[in-house]
Structure 1
């Protein structure tokens, strides 16, 4: 009888755990859907900013101020700034493992070359995994808030801008998981600075790009740059006009701020969507495993009960025959 009691207790415990994993699965699915919507809404903006920054590469660097040139050129013999995005919580499968593994491999490679390293870590799991071995490299650590927070984005941006302006770093690379679907997250290593050429330099719908949508006045603005950029797309030369219209002398500086901000925002959204997708998948697997375990335990319980009943019947029959 004690065996039956233990089985019933175990079944009850597994069912309780199953309810928790199921609830976590549903919560993660809801969060993932919301973040996917945010990604879809921001994609056009992020892509447009990236393409405008890529277009600036066609401008002669002497036309930029010394401060602006820092964001387009590599500074030799300075630190490599690595921004690592992980999760604040666990129970999300191999989500953090792939990022941490890649970061450790890259750090080892940089160490072998004798290069300097600075780390900005976002998320508790990444900090816990890297602090013991690379505590001297860690420049900053930020906890990941429960909801998408612009303050975090601005703090990270300020760290990057300050490091570049003070000539403390030669480049800036960000590590994050890119969301593909709930089952698949792609470990991504993306260079933020110095600004690199956008992969697809064909403009969206209209090849004319202006900055009216970013707070600059449309009427009375005087264009200072009207450059023709040429990009080879599938072996074909394609010329595109970029018209920058604005008032004031801070066009490139404002674009750089928007660009860095958009890249961090993109990585944060992709990382959050990937985390929730990984957690949803992990909790779904846990729920299914709990269901299988419950079925096995119930079968074992029924067999044990049947064995006890059979034994009791045999004893009764044997006793009646003896009488």
Structure 2
């Protein structure tokens, strides 16, 4: 009876040891698979960071040119001393894009747009980009009159902007006196801020106190109106694109760094588990040799 109980207890201990080893080996396999997945993700984010860095450099060059033209239009309006008219019909244009993986750059635009619509509930909205459209549509679906996508995958061009401006200006049912453009302003390679551009109609500019200082012909005023609106829209698009590329670069850099930290933790955990398995196997060998 004593011999049978000893044999049974040893068999039970052996089965528990085998089960423990099996569990440890399964855990090590899972850690190894996860380590491989995180390593692959790290390679992808590192590649996306390099691509975003190249695109950021190109976007900054285009932004510099667009900003110069935009500043000229802005200075023209300031020198003419154009003032907003109380009670004027206004339209809101949110300049976003279709791409993600760039931090909270689209969320800031949506918050600013929703805040403005909360104060001016009847204002019609034109949204450029699907990211902001999804977020604004949840709270104000009836305000959206136009939405444009497939913008921002490459550097926006003036031809694309002119086509968008033509659709907005040619819609007779969309009557507005001035336009408020909300966009992301490029501050640095790691920072941006949500800003706005006011676009006034030519009738309001002509009535400005200092506009008589300029020489002009009556037949070019409508063309000037379309040019100023398109120029402001192009400025917002290109500067927003540069801010988006910079934010994407920062996001991919942070993702690569976080993946590296996770790889280090998983490697340490894998090595500890592997050492524990080897130690248990050595104990079994030494115990068996001692028993013999």
Give the TM-score category using the shorter length.
0.7 to 0.9
CA shift, 1:179, in A, is: 0.6
TM-score by length of 2: 0.80
CA shift, 1:229, in A, is: 5.3
**Structure 1 or 2: more helix by fraction:** 2
Contact persistence 1:53–1:255 (CA under 8 A): no
**Structure 1 or 2: more strand by fraction:** 1
How many angstroms apart in 2 are the aligned matches of 1:118 and 1:45? Answer: 27
How many angstroms apart in 2 are the aligned matches of 1:107 and 1:118? Answer: 9
How many angstroms apart in 1 are the aligned matches of 2:69 and 2:189? Answer: 24
The residue number in structure 1 matching 2:199 is 192
TM-score by length of 1: 0.73
TM-superposition CA deviations, 1:16-56 (whole Å, max 9, x none): 11111111111111111101011222333332233234444
How many angstroms apart in 1 are the aligned matches of 2:68 and 2:94? Answer: 25
Q: 1:253 aligns with which of 219, 222, 232?
A: 222
Contact persistence 1:178–1:186 (CA under 8 A): yes
Is the alpha carbon distance of 1:264 and 1:77 closer, same or farther for their aligned partners in structure 2, counting shifts above 3 Å?
closer
Who wins on radius of gyration, i.e. which is larger? Answer: 2
Contact persistence 2:49–2:253 (CA under 8 A): yes
Is 2:107 aligned against 1:97?
yes
Unaligned runs of 5+ in 1: 59-71, 198-227, 231-240
Is 2:121 aligned against 1:152?
no
Larger deviation, residues 182-191 vs 302-311? 182-191
The residue number in structure 1 matching 2:92 is 82
Is 2:55 aligned against 1:31?
yes
TM-superposition CA deviations, 1:175-198 (whole Å, max 9, x none): 111011122110112211257x9x
How many angstroms apart in 2 are the aligned matches of 1:73 and 1:184? Answer: 30
Q: 2:260 aligns with which of 271, 287, 291?
A: 291
Q: 1:126 aligns with which of 104, 129, 132?
A: 132
Contact persistence 1:91–1:282 (CA under 8 A): yes
TM-superposition CA deviations, 1:225-281 (whole Å, max 9, x none): xxx959xxxxxxxxxx9664x7x6434333322221211111001110111111111
TM-superposition CA deviations, 1:73-108 (whole Å, max 9, x none): 748464x30001122021111101111111111111
The residue number in structure 2 matching 1:61 is none
**CA-atom RMSD, angstroms?**
2.9
Is the alpha carbon distance of 1:95 and 1:258 closer, same or farther for their aligned partners in structure 2, counting shifts above 3 Å?
same
- How many aligned positions are there? 264
TM-superposition CA deviations, 1:198-222 (whole Å, max 9, x none): xxxxxxxxxxxxxxxxxxxxxxxxx
The residue number in structure 1 matching 2:64 is 40
How many angstroms apart in 1 are the aligned matches of 2:97 and 2:255? Answer: 19
The residue number in structure 2 matching 1:201 is none
How many angstroms apart in 1 are the aligned matches of 2:162 and 2:92? Answer: 17
The residue number in structure 2 matching 1:316 is 285
3-state SS in 2 of match to 1:117: coil
Contact persistence 1:21–1:284 (CA under 8 A): yes
Contact persistence 2:201–2:225 (CA under 8 A): no
Unaligned runs of 5+ in 2: 1-24
The residue number in structure 1 matching 2:13 is none
How many angstroms apart in 2 are the aligned matches of 1:40 and 1:193? Answer: 23
Q: 1:139 aligns with which of 114, 135, 145?
A: 145
